[in-house]
Amino acid sequence: MNLNRYLKSVIGACIGCGMAFVWLAVDLLTPEPWGDYLLYILMAVVNMVIGWQVARLFGKSREAAATDSVTSPERTDTKSEFES
């Protein structure tokens, strides 16, 4: 399990470095006043998409936890038979 966590950390660090390089390249390749405006708009859109995906991921994990904790009607019927 620790190896899996380590691998995810390394992949996340590589993605972060890659994104920083992309932002730097966009900033350096575009003309000076308009390049900054384009860069900030692109960064805002990418951050919104990433935030939306992370929120969706956490929502799925909460839904899965909620459905696991709910007991089925079959289990409650069996439980009542044992009580009587």
Helix extents (H) in the chain:
2-29, 32-69, 73-83
Instruction: Dump pLDDT digits (tens) for 26-83.
Output: 888 888 888 788 888 888 898 888 888 888 887 777 777 777 665 555 555 555 555 5
In Å, the largest CA–CA distance within the chain is 80
Confidence check: pLDDT of 16 > 80: yes
The three-class DSSP label of residue 72 is coil
84: confidence class by pLDDT, cuts 50, 70, 90 = low
Domain boundaries, given as residue ranges, for the chain: 2-83
What pLDDT was estimated at residue 10?
85
Q: Can you give the pTM of this predicted structure?
A: 0.50
